[in-house]
Structure 1
Amino acid sequence: MQSNKLRLAIRATAATVVMGVASQASALTLNVGDDTEASLYGYARLNMSYDLDGNRAVSTRAGTFSPVAADGSDLDATDGHFGSDVQQSRLGIKVNHASGVAVTVEGDFRGSGNSAGSLRIRHAYGQYKGFMAGRNWSNTISFVGATPLLDFDGVAGSMGSWDRTEQLRYTTGGLSFSIEDPSSQAIVDGSGRTGTPALTARFENSMDAVSFALSGVVSQVTSDDGTNDDSAMGYAMSAAAKLALSDMFSVQGSVTAADGATGYLWRSGSNYYGPSAYLDGNSVETISAYGGNVGVSMALGGGRSINLAYGMTTQDLDDAVANSSLTNAAPETNQNLFLNYMWTPVQNVMMGVEYGYFDQETVAGDSSDANRILFAAQYNF
């Protein structure tokens, strides 16, 4: 009976929010009994982008890195591309029980390809005391060193794997451990097989004006074509920090080093993650990589702020090029830069405009760069 009341209350509240006739208090918090409370949250968001150079926009109008053609030129030589969508819009439900059990289910409409615009699951997890099970942000990431940006995919070299993944996690104080479904484990010339979960640890703390986080992951990379198989251990280590120089100004950033675990180096490779290893004969050989980013944020008062961030990633692909099918045209170094102005004209409404610069360089030294502008308007509930 209790669950039926909860379902009916959520349906009624969701309908009221859509019609726009309810106050925020009644729309957001649901008291459905003495021992259970549920809340509905999310936002509606419009993103509009204009690419001054080649078309770099994907769903949510986020910018992508773009490979270089065989002759060293940009694959998309056309200039001036406009587009808009609302696929970043988000909807979530949180349920808290008096026993201490909490459940979160959240989705958005990003998707990709033919699924763009369809509801996808971002988070679906339960918590009890220090335990969490389900789909959540990878335990390797921290928001400590993150600079506020409008681009959904963000700055290169951000800490850890910026994907949500299925996991079991335990947290005590600032320390957390997890067993996770590994992030991308691409192998050049190899047929990958996930043989073991990834093991992670993260620690966060703050002292006065300084906040910091450290994380590490160990993940096995395996190639198996049904006849021959080999594996290697990969790892990645990350550190992030934020220094609040005043109430209005902060500096933040992160660094990551990986070997055989490039899936934990954000925006490496062709766009999101580079290969973690290559197959030299029947032997799996790991690929090392590193990256990082730095940003500054300034609050201007009245709900206004300016944010600047720069990030880069690079992989050591020389041995892979020499011993596998990887060529000198493979993307090796990515860098991007963002400058935005964000403001809150009224409560629960955010608007902003952002300049983005993207550059990708191949092993051969050829590069492809682009400039773009992004506008966003977001209503939170």
Structure 2
Amino acid sequence: MTSHASLKRASCLSAGALAMAIAGAAHAVDIELGDTTASLYGFAKLDMIYDVDNELGDLAARPRILIDGQRGSDGHTTLHAYQSRLGFRTATPAGGRQLVTRVEVDWFDNAPEGGDLRLRHAYGSWNGVLAGKTWTNFGSRLGKTPTIDLAPQPGQSKIGRKAQLRYSWGQWHLALENPDPEDYKDGVAINWLNPKNAQHPRGVYSEHGDAKTGLPDLTLRYQSRAAGVDYSASAMLRQLEVESDDGPSIDDSATGWGLNLAARFRASDRLTLRGALTYGDGIGEYLQNNPSAPGYLSQDEVETITAWGANVGMNLRAGPGAVNLGYGISKADLDDARDAGLAGVEGANEQFEALHLNYVWSPIERVSYGVEAGYHTREVVDGRDGDALRLQGMVKYHF
């Protein structure tokens, strides 16, 4: 822990909807090609980061926070442009409906270190059927407080994209999703707690070599609006399986599940409130910044891990921009894994928290500036904890 820790603590879709989102994009270069409207869009963004404590990466990787007994240097400056984005989308009348496609990339692969090209979105949608990669159908972005740091606040549903086949009717959305997690490789558990390997010193789990993805994940979401409140309710089911004939024969599976509630309320023309609750057993990466894996292997049996999270936030328009304040927490229950004597469990991540305060403004259209302070904490099973303060600024040019 650093000497100033106490001071910091005190101071610190339906196809129609998709088509409308494409057609109504504020920052895009539109081209008419026969019946097709094609749009090129994106932005160039510079992130300027100062980590008051140890370096957390190009985005705030909370498992990197140093805890009691760990040592490292304080004060690190990072400038990068990896969040810069380029996208292409189309909308075409087809069979009396809109056929929508979208492909989008940035340079944030292998996060929390950027620099490699990453496919963010690649999908098509027609007549209520979406196929490709886009935002997971579990949860929604209604509870997401805008942050300058690319790392979302913990506790909400997964703010990430997965390959999927989705069907939408009215306010209901049902999807089969890729069962492989796509988390940041140094962010949270990749898949399974592996009893054969020691715990990574920064709390990152290794994947069990015999983990199997036999079935796609199933997600269901209902999203609507009532009494001025936008809200969503979601559920998820998944299979966690290990199968191996090498050495002792292993063939066992367990069912993981998750629930999410999210809401956004426009209290006035200037003030918007939002929040979300997420809970599940074997939920894994579907809980944003889950400290733990979805499960582990104990005596040749798959055991699931319960985890929960919550976040709240506000957006207040002020002057040429808006103030955003948000808090999030995610926590895993590792008591059973501890009782089972799992290797390295005493140093396993158990809780993450984050508090963000920022101001983002636009002096003219297509130009955005922002400043942010982010306070992050990490706690492990044996009670050790740590915190980190990150200061960040940005310049963003849209086209």
Q: TM-score, length-normalised on structure 2?
A: 0.83
Find the aligned partners of 2:101 and 2:77 in 1 and give their Cα distance: 39
Find the aligned partners of 2:281 and 2:150 in 1 and give their Cα distance: 27
Query: Secondary structure of 2:241's match?
Result: strand
Give the C-alpha shift of residue 154 in structure 1: 1.6
Identity over aligned residues, as a percent?
A: 35
Find the aligned partners of 2:333 and 2:159 in 1 and give their Cα distance: 22
Is the CA contact (8 Å cut-off) linking 1:260 and 1:276 kept in structure 2? Answer: yes
Query: Secondary structure of 2:116's match?
Result: coil
Task: For residues 255-278 of structure 1, give each alpha carbon's deviation from its aligned partner in whole angstroms, at most 9, with x where no partner exists.
Answer: 100101222111122xxxx21111
Find the aligned partners of 2:236 and 2:353 in 1 and give their Cα distance: 24
**In the alignment, which residue of structure 1 is the partner of 2:288?**
266
Give the C-alpha shift of residue 117 in structure 1: 2.1
The alignment status of 1:93 with 2:115, answered yes or no, reads no
- Which AA in structure 1 matches 2:91? N
**In the alignment, which residue of structure 2 is the partner of 1:109?**
107
Aligned length: 346
Which residue of 355, 358, 373 corresponds with 1:355?
373
Find the aligned partners of 1:321 and 1:43 in 2 and give their Cα distance: 46
Query: Secondary structure of 1:66's match?
Result: helix
**In the alignment, which residue of structure 2 is the partner of 1:153?**
151
**In the alignment, which residue of structure 2 is the partner of 1:57?**
57
Give the C-alpha shift of residue 72 in structure 1: 2.9
Query: Secondary structure of 1:109's match?
Result: strand
Is the CA contact (8 Å cut-off) linking 1:353 and 1:376 kept in structure 2? Answer: yes
Find the aligned partners of 1:208 and 1:87 in 2 and give their Cα distance: 40
- Which AA in structure 1 matches 2:301? S
Distance change >3 Å, CA 157–CA 114, structure 1 → 2 = closer
- Which AA in structure 1 matches 2:165? L
Distance change >3 Å, CA 113–CA 306, structure 1 → 2 = closer
Task: For residues 118-158 of structure 1, give each alpha carbon's deviation from its aligned partner in whole angstroms, at most 9, with x where no partner exists.
Answer: 32211000110211000111001311111111110121112
Find the aligned partners of 1:27 and 1:380 in 2 and give their Cα distance: 8
**In the alignment, which residue of structure 1 is the partner of 2:46?**
46
Distance change >3 Å, CA 131–CA 365, structure 1 → 2 = same
The alignment status of 1:229 with 2:246, answered yes or no, reads no
**In the alignment, which residue of structure 1 is the partner of 2:32?**
31
Distance change >3 Å, CA 343–CA 212, structure 1 → 2 = same
Is the CA contact (8 Å cut-off) linking 2:65 and 2:377 kept in structure 1? Answer: no
**In the alignment, which residue of structure 2 is the partner of 1:321?**
338
Find the aligned partners of 2:324 and 2:112 in 1 and give their Cα distance: 34
Give the C-alpha shift of residue 336 in structure 1: 0.7
**Which residues in structure 2 correspond to 1:1-381 (within 5 Å)?**
28-33=29-34, 35-58=35-58, 62-66=59-63, 72-75=68-71, 77-99=72-94, 100-112=98-110, 116-159=114-157, 161-182=158-179, 184=181, 186-189=191-194, 190=208, 191-226=210-245, 227-269=249-291, 274-302=292-320, 304-323=321-340, 324-381=342-399
- Which AA in structure 2 matches 1:314? K
Q: TM-score, length-normalised on structure 1?
A: 0.86
Task: Kindly report the root-mean-square deviation, in angstroms, between the aligned alpha carbons of the 2 structures.
Answer: 2.1
Task: For residues 169-203 of structure 1, give each alpha carbon's deviation from its aligned partner in whole angstroms, at most 9, with x where no partner exists.
Answer: 01112110000012537222243110100011001
Distance change >3 Å, CA 326–CA 318, structure 1 → 2 = farther
Task: For residues 228-287 of structure 1, give each alpha carbon's deviation from its aligned partner in whole angstroms, at most 9, with x where no partner exists.
Answer: 121000000000011221111121110100101222111122xxxx21111111111111
Give the C-alpha shift of residue 214 in structure 1: 0.7
Distance change >3 Å, CA 234–CA 104, structure 1 → 2 = same
Find the aligned partners of 1:197 and 1:283 in 2 and give their Cα distance: 21
Query: Secondary structure of 1:328's match?
Result: helix
Distance change >3 Å, CA 278–CA 230, structure 1 → 2 = same
Is the CA contact (8 Å cut-off) linking 2:60 and 2:112 kept in structure 1? Answer: no
Is the CA contact (8 Å cut-off) linking 1:336 and 1:359 kept in structure 2? Answer: yes
Distance change >3 Å, CA 118–CA 262, structure 1 → 2 = closer
Is the CA contact (8 Å cut-off) linking 1:339 and 1:354 kept in structure 2? Answer: yes
Find the aligned partners of 1:114 and 1:289 in 2 and give their Cα distance: 23
Unaligned runs of 5+ in 1: 1-23
